[in-house]
Amino acid sequence: MKKIAIMTSGGDAPGMNACIRALVRYGIYREYKVYGIERGYAGMISGDIFQMYPRSVSDIIQRGGTILKTARSLEFKEASVRAEAIENLRCRDIDNLIVIGGDGSFRGALTLHDEFGINVIGIPGTIDNDLGYTDLTLGFDTAVNTVLSAINNLRDTNAAHERVSIVEVMGRNCGDIALYSGLAGGCEYVLVPEIQTDFREVAQKVILSAKRGKTSNMIVFAEGAGNKQELIDTIKEATGKTPTVTTLGHIQRGGAPSMVDRVLAAKFATHAIDLLRKGEGAKAVGIKDYKIFSMDLDKALEVKKVVDAELYKMTQQLSL
Ligand code: F6P
């Protein structure tokens, strides 16, 4: 019987568990033996690898996090360590590997393919939505909904106190969490790492919006969008109002996955297993224009993530 190992790697994202469940169950349905590797590449090195069964993944579809646990392994960057790790697959006759993770996790998988001929498939799983080849990564939709729920709460108190409020969101160098939650949350300003913003413009917008009758303002600030303190100081100086700052942090990583992420997990997982059935390796699974597809992993990693300039423009046009 053919064998597949699966793992989650890098930052966890809601929907990873739903994807693990789908991989285990569809893998077994297609007559593979499925193995789980704990803590990503760290567990491959230490040999924390165990067989999984349909009941191993009961009652997890609705849970955030990952039952396989996850880690960012620096050790794996060393060739000798990778050779040890691969032995832990070889001694179990495993030559198929599915990795759910982001950019760094995909690069690790590609190295295993290039160096040892392991069939690897990458499933995009990160709240950041920072992989350019796919419209969506697992966990992004849920994270944005979590931010939206925080924005809704903040709007209430913001309106009551006539405040300027800054919400800081995650995303590393990618502004998608900020952009989508800012647009969907009806926020006055969205600051993203990809677009340089003069903070004085943000302050001017607060002043202008007051002239138009607005009594409160909500600004979404992506963590990579510059110096937050400078933004606070600029607004304070220009408007006389001290903005309140809410940093949402790791709250964005947890919670029950949305319908979108659960369905995406099922689609990504079945597509990944079908690729292995066809003997295709070194592929990245993604979604483009609502269609699931796959492409060469190395090519996928070359696609630069571009911020959606139309959406950004909309956030400005709709916040008069
Ligand atoms: O990549 C996901 C992410 O949550 C980023 O948005 C954030 O910058 C980073 O991980 C935080 O990393 P850590 O979990 O190591 O604190």
What pLDDT shows up at residue 296? 98
Q: What is the pLDDT of residue 175?
A: 98
Question: Are β-strands 49-52 and 164-169 bridged in parallel, bridged antiparallel, or unpaired?
Answer: unpaired
**pLDDT value, residue 284:** 98
Q: Output the CA torsion sign for 302, 305, 306, 311.
A: positive
Identify the residue whose C-alpha is closest to ligand 1 atom 1. Answer: 11
Q: If you average pLDDT over residues 86-113, what whole number do you get?
A: 97
Predicted local distance difference test score (pLDDT) of residue 18: 99
Mean pLDDT, rounded, for 10-38: 98
Bridge partners of residue 294, in order along the sequence: 285
**Whether residue 19 has pLDDT greater than 90:** yes
Residue 1 scores a pLDDT above 90:
no
Residue 320 is predicted with a pLDDT of: 87
Starting at the edge strand found earlier in the chain, the sheet holding 3-8 runs 49-52, 33-37, 3-8, 96-101, 119-124, 283-288, 291-296
Kindly name the residue from 12, 128, 130, 261 that is annotated as catalytic: 128
The predicted pLDDT at position 183 comes to 98
- Residue among 69, 172, 179 whose CB has most ligand 1 atoms within 8 A, to mutate: 172
Determine the pLDDT at residue 139.
Answer: 98
Nearest residue to 139 via CA among 147, 34, 73: 147
The reply to whether 103 belongs to the active site is: no
Residues in the chain, how many? 320
Tell which residue, 228, 234, 237, 155, has the closest CA to residue 191.
Answer: 228
Provide the β-strand partners of residue 164.
217
* 87, 101, 222 from 49: Cα distances, Å: 12, 18, 37
Adjacent-strand bridge partners of 303? none
Contact 62/20 with Cβ under 8 angstroms? no
Convert the pLDDT of each residue in 171-207 to its tens digit: 999 999 999 999 999 999 999 999 999 999 999 999 9
Distance between Cα 11 and ligand 1 center (Å) = 6
**Token pair for residue 67?**
């039952």
Q: What is the pLDDT of residues 200-250, one digit of tens each?
A: 999 999 999 999 999 999 999 999 999 999 999 999 999 999 999 999 999
Ligand 1 contacts (CB < 6 A) are 11, 126-128, 170-172, 223, 253
CA of 172 to the centre of ligand 1 (A): 7
Question: For 9, phi and psi rounded to 5 degrees?
Answer: -145, 150
**Residue whose CA is at the smallest distance from ligand 1 atom 2:** 11
Sheet containing strand 217-222, edge to edge, reads: 189-191, 217-222, 164-169, 244-247
pLDDT of 42 strictly over 90: yes
d(CA 6, CA 98): 5
Mean pLDDT to the nearest integer, 98-111: 97
Give the number of the atom of ligand 1 that is nearest the alpha carbon of residue 172. Answer: 8
